[in-house]
């Protein structure tokens, strides 16, 4: 049997904010890349 529908998490795709995570310090940037980390200044790549 298949369930009629699984509840989906609403409020944002994880990929939306994952790309904002600074690769250097792990903090979340305030805006989508390309931008730079407000904490350490590392550049965030959009890709």
Binding site for Zn ion (CB under 5 A): 22, 24-25, 37, 39-40, 42
Q: In terms of C-beta density within 10 A (0-12 exposed, 13-18 middle, 19 or more buried), how is residue 37 classed? A: buried
Task: For Zn ion, give the closer residue by CB, 25 or 32.
Answer: 25
Minimal distance, residue 33 CB to Zn ion, in Å: 12
- φ, ψ (nearest 5 deg) of residue 38: -75, -20
Minimal distance, residue 40 CB to Zn ion, in Å: 3
Q: How far is the C-alpha of 34 from the C-alpha of 20, rounded, in Å?
A: 9
Minimal distance, residue 39 CB to Zn ion, in Å: 4
């Amino acid at each position: 049997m298949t369930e009629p529908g699984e509840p989906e998490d609403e409020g944002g795709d994880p990929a939306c904010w994952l790309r904002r995570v600074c690769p250097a310090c792990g903090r979340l940037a305030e805006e989508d890349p390309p931008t730079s980390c407000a904490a350490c200044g590392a550049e965030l790549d959009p890709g």
